[in-house]
Amino acid sequence: MDNRQKEFYASLENTFMTPGWNLITEGWRQEQAALPEAAFFNAKSMEDIEAIRVRYGLLDELIRLPDTIEQQKLDVINQHE
């Protein structure tokens, strides 16, 4: 892994360990948990349902971002070995 990659992953790991990241992630989890009920009671069309599905997926990606970045880091390390 080159120095630029090391800096990139170290910076993200530091970000993921902050209280602010934990707070924002908790907000995303709460929003995601509320989406199925919102879809059931508020969706007026299939387009509304699709928009909620997209939002759910985006929130899922954000919540899992630390795991995704960790896997990318491991892939880079393994690629250089």
The number of CA neighbours under 13 Å toward the Cβ of 31 is 16
Q: Looking at residue 1, what is its pLDDT?
A: 86
Where residue 24 falls among pLDDT bands split at 50, 70, 90? very high
The pLDDT tens digits of the residues spanning 36-69 come to 999 999 999 999 999 999 999 999 999 999 999 9
Q: Give pTM, 2 decimals.
A: 0.85
9-19: pLDDT as tens digits: 999 999 999 99
- What's the residue count for the chain? 81
Residue 81 has pLDDT above 80, yes or no: no
Q: Are 76 and 5 in contact (CB under 8 A)?
A: yes
3-state secondary structure of 48: helix
